[in-house]
A and B are shown apart, each in its own frame.
Chain A
Amino acid sequence: MATTDTFRFTQSMVGKKAIMAVSGTVMFGWIFVHMIGNLQIYAGPQKINDYGKFLHDTPALLWGSRIVLLFAVLAHVFSALSLYGTARSARTEGYRKSNTRAATVASKSMRYGGIVLVAFIVYHLAQLTWGVKATLPQFVFGDVYCNVVHAFKIWWITAIYLVAQVFLFLHLYHGVWSVFQTLGVNSPRWDERFQLGAKGFAALVLVGNCSIPVAVLAGIVPSAGICS
């Protein structure tokens, strides 16, 4: 930190945390919309493939959101790394015996969970956006429905998605509430409602996203005669 005359909010820990909160909110908002989009798989191949086509036919929307998201992910990850550095150097000699009272599984998972999420995002994009053959040999551009079906018919791919969703759940369980705290909008009057809301949204994303691979694997999403 420089002197206070040149206090730079974005250079301070509080500012970097605010960047995490804003970028996290952007990603969260997008994940919610993404989930609603994905749930259209239950309406059959026509519906979801049309949705995919609509996005690709509207490049302003597609690339606009891709650029915003890319910036959000980069800002989020770089702030996380920088802040983690300050936390590391703030306690170089740890306790021989440690205990926590208020921290939760979710709040403790933010950092390693974040690493899991980075790995998952890359895998997920490779598999269902870029169509990297090694991740999904049957990939066909534009056939969203069958790409998803082919992937989730394989039990361990479904397992990878479910595990990632659990980490996303934990991340949002703590993170969405944390945003209100970080940006200074929380208050004792609202705290409980923000916490409940965060847990509710996290659970909604968990259930909504997990339902798809599970439904495919269970044969609830039809594939016979549609996907070869």
Chain B
Amino acid sequence: MSASTFKLTLHIWRQKQRGARGEMKQYELDGVSGDMSFLEMLDVLNEKLITEKHPDGPVAFDHDCREGICGMCGVVVNGEAHGPQAGTTCCQLHMRTFEHGEHELWIEPWRADAFPVLKDLIVDRTAFDRIIQAGGYVSVHTGSAPDGNAIPIGKNEAELSMDAAACIGCGACVAACPNASAMLFTSAKVAQLALLPQGQPERFTRVKKMVAQMEKEGFGYCTNHKECEAVCPKEISVQFITQLNRDLLRASVRRD
């Protein structure tokens, strides 16, 4: 346990509301403990801003589970989505990561026109929901619970599908992509179904619909930098992007 604390200089994006002009504001924060999570550090800052009656008011940031599964908490820290630690959401990032390094942090919201800033560090990620909605239904038998092993699925396919399904839709892939592309997210959502027998009936119409929606939302295209994979807290592989490209090509030459 690190009993010692340290001091941080924070530069945080402050923006009153959607469409308003924002700017980076500087705050000094003392008493940061390495055991705090990144979000707890922001909580401490907010407590200070409130008790000091700071004219800027507390910093608005998104969060929910604080255990790395809901995907709400993403912000960009020193130019890196979810901060410097690989495979980790902001809420799971501990301040000890910063204890011996830079004591000056730049904290910004996800930057993509498809993710408009609502306030300070909070962005509207409903574009992702619409991409998923565009995928439509999956033909499954309803009624009584299906037999456990009625549909045999290979271990590799099952594992791969689960890897894709690990996506929590946090938007870090878009934030980190130099083109603000949503290809990693969309491809994970396409692949998790395309890899399973249950996903086959609508497989090729689904990929077209989801890509069409992705483009309508105004995300950029993929230039294969692999920045998305490098920041993804669930370490989703760009191999799903390859699969999306393949499925979309196949879907376009099929008649259905």
Binding site for B on A (CB under 8 A): 1-4, 7, 9, 12-18, 83, 86-87, 89-104, 107-108, 110, 174, 177-178, 180-188, 191
Contact = CB atoms under 8 A, between A and B. Distances in A.
A12 B211 CA distance: 8
B112 A14 contact: no
Residue among A15, A89, A101, A191 having the largest count of chain B Cβ atoms under 10 Å: A101
Given A93-B113, A178-B224, A187-B242, 5 more contacts: A14-B221, A87-B220, A96-B11, A97-B79, A182-B222
Interface residues of B, number: 53
19 contacts: A1-B212, A4-B209, A14-B244, A86-B220, A87-B179, A91-B112, A91-B220, A95-B79, A100-B225, A101-B230, A102-B230, A103-B225, A103-B227, A107-B223, A107-B224, A108-B178, A178-B223, A183-B245, A186-B242
A203 to B, nearest CB: 19
A41 to B, nearest CB: 35
B245 A184 contact: yes
A187 to B, nearest CB: 7
Interface string B231-254: 100000111011111111101100
B226 interface: yes
A128 B248 CA distance: 42
Contacts of A187: 239, 242
Given A7-B212, A90-B181, A186 B239 contact: yes
Contacts of B80: 99, 101
A138 B252 CA distance: 53
Given A86-B221, A91-B111, A96 B242 contact: no
Given A87-B180, A184-B249, A17 B221 contact: yes
Contacts of B218: 89-90
B43 to A, nearest CB: 23
B226 A103 contact: yes
Contacts, number: 148
B85 to A, nearest CB: 11
B254 to A, nearest CB: 11
Contacts of B220: 13, 86-87, 90-91
